[in-house]
Amino acid sequence: MSQSNHFKTLGVDKEATPAEIKKAFRKLALKYHPDRNADDKTAEDKFKKINEAYTVLSDSKRKEGFPTFGSSGFYKKYNQENIFRKFDFSGDTGRDNFRSEPQKGADIEIETEVSFNDAALGTEKMIVFLCNGTHQELKINIPAGMYNGRKIRISGKGAQGEGGGQAGDLYVKITVQPFEFLPDIETTDTTEVLSQYFVLLVDDEPNILQALKRLFRREPYTFIYANSGADGLRIMAETPEIVLIISDQRMPMMNGVEFLSLSKKLAPDAIRMMLTSHSDMEATVAAINEGGVTRYIRKPWEDSELLQTVRDGVRQYHLIKENRRQQEIIKQQKEELSSWNQNLKGRVLAQTTQIRRQVEDVHRLNQRLQSNFQGVIESMVALAELRDPKTRRHSANTASLSIAMAQALNLPSNEIEIIRIAALLHDIGKNAMSDVALAMDENNYTDEDYLEYRKHPVLGQIALDSIEDLRPAALLIRHHHERYDGMGFPDGLSGDAIPMGASIIALADCCDREMAFHFARNAVESAIDNLLKRSGTVFPPSLLPYLAKPAHDLFDHLYERHDGLTEMKVVPEKLKPGMILTSELFSRSGLLLLQAWTELDSAKIKSLQRIFTIDPLPGGIPVAIRHSRKSSSI
């Protein structure tokens, strides 16, 4: 269909706006939709053409050719309600946008059975159920206190949703098996236990005994037969546990009532029954009162009735025996509980004392481990200073300044501790440098020496990386020579990419080194003035304001003893005894000759003059002299 026919189908001009095209389509789609025109082939064809036309005209890209979507199947998927509820007419592009709403999947309900104990105490159970056409396995948690018929909801385990909708839920209905205080004696598999139950049958007629044997041959109990009361008493005396006695009433020498009465002494707990063909009220009363008979069975008997009677009798005996056992257990537990309650306070106090002692032991052990940990760190610092004597007190000073700045910045205590450790160990990587390079002034390094020097931050990180608790500090050590302008090493980080702790350590490190070049009482101000010149290039500008107070606190008292000194530079030939070096003195080749604050004597002066004659030093030697004060009397 040509584009001109598309415009004609919708009844709009070629210059029609997207909004006008949309409005025309909505009107015609509602009029010719198959839901409104059932079995109308003409309306159906018209609807297809309307949809096809709008699909092309609503998208400028689709005007280039026939749309890939077309109208086939459109009206089958979307009914009239879809068009005007799910069709997006709010946009300005005029593009069709059918949105299939996500549909949640169907819920699934299954049943599972648990024992009374599992329902009361809680358990885990693996269930299998059919979902999305496949059998699924799922382990579920059945909480304690579950009752019969209750449902457990497991979210998202039902049928899969449609259109991106979420899955349905799984409901597991719990069926709790009935609780039986005692096991059913008829259904128990403990045949060995049941075979220990003896049932005594007494009758003077052999054919009766033979009939009883046939009847009870498949029962799990042990049956004993006697042909007289005397024989029955003899058997009872030899048998440990008779649980049930069935006796005939009319027997020679000793009738049933007499036999049952005497049997009570030998088996007081046995269940007694009378088997007779005579209805003698007097004998019945006597059997009940004297023989303890609980059941009267008439001859001839019904086999099924007699079998059930015997089973009920054995079960009754079992219940009596089990009840006694349970009562004994309850009594014993009651006594134990009473004893426990009496001793509970003492036991609680004893256990509390033991727990407190264990906690104290753990606390002492933790303190010892922490002390050992700090000792290891101090030992590392001491070893580094032994290797490079000119850095003595440098690590401690750097750490002191770093801690004070971190506290002023209100950093968390754990971060401050990491910064402290990193500041103490920031130059530990220099231990890998050669002795010659360590002894030289950094300004006198050759290119090869400088390349070796640049490695020490990474070597320091590697040295500490094997200790997990030191890894955060090792990262700060790696970056303490980075510069704010990105010209540092080893990674060339800049700005906020440099860890704050590393920037703090770098500033404290430079401050302590700078102090070696200042001698007067205003040494701190002079050092900070020089550091300010590197603010924004080497250091973050925001850190410098936090350095002044810690620097004054740390260094001012060191210079109080030098009041009255005048700083100057003199050539070696002008050195005099009593002069004091104001900074570390290096040879021209970079070897450390004397520490700062060393007072010169004749021997030191001669040694220095000899060295600088061989290896002349450009410029003068920084020294200070004391002012002479004349005393005056009043």
pLDDT digits (tens, 9 = 90+) for 68-109: 344 444 444 444 444 444 444 444 444 444 445 788 889 999
Among 141-145, 150-154, 175-179, where is mean pLDDT lowest? 175-179
The whole-number pLDDT of residue 435 equals: 82
**135 in helix, strand or coil?**
strand
Question: Is residue 201 within 8 Å of residue 211, measured between CB atoms?
Answer: no
Give the pair of three-digit tokens for residue 511. Answer: 């401050």
Residue ranges of the alpha helices (H) in 301-455? 303-387, 394-408, 413-424, 435-439, 447-454
- Residue-level pLDDT at 398: 94
Average pLDDT value for residue range 433-450: 83
pLDDT above 70 as % of the chain: 83
Please check the confidence at residue 588 and state whether its pLDDT lies above 50: yes
For residue 491, name the pLDDT band (cuts at 50, 70, 90): very high
Of 64-68, 340-344, 358-362, 466-470, the range with the lowest mean pLDDT is 64-68
Greatest Cα pair distance in the chain: 154
pLDDT range class, residue 561, cuts 50, 70, 90? low
Does the bond joining 490 to the residue before it have cis omega, within 30 degrees of 0? yes
**pLDDT band at residue 627, thresholds of 50, 70 and 90?**
low
Residues composing the chain: 634
* Residue 244: its H or E element: strand 242-248
Contact predicate 229/247, CB 8 Å: yes
Q: How many CA atoms lie within 13 A of 584 on its CB side?
A: 22
CATH architecture of the region 108-176:
Sandwich (2.60)
Q: In angstroms, how far is the first alpha carbon of the chain from the final one? A: 126
Q: Taking residues 146-151, report their average pLDDT.
A: 80
pLDDT of residue 34: 74
> What's the confidence (pLDDT) of residue 563?
61
Considering the domain delimited by 388-560, tell me its CATH architecture. Answer: Orthogonal Bundle (1.10)
Return the CATH class of domain 3-85: mainly alpha
Closest alpha carbon to 567 in 611, 509, 491, 626: 626
In the chain, where are the structural domains located? Answer: 3-85, 108-176, 191-321, 388-560, 565-626
**CATH class of the domain defined by 191-321:** alpha beta
Q: Element (H or E) spanning 224, and its range?
A: strand 222-226
Phi, psi of 458 (to 5 degrees): -70, -40
CATH number of 565-626: 3.90.105
Average pLDDT over residues 314-325: 83
Determine the average pLDDT of the residues in 4-26.
Answer: 84
DSSP 437-462: HHHS-GGG--HHHHHHHHTHHHHHHH
Checking DSSP bridges between strand 134-142 and strand 170-176, what pairing results, if any? unpaired
Q: Is the confidence at residue 629, as pLDDT, over 60?
A: no
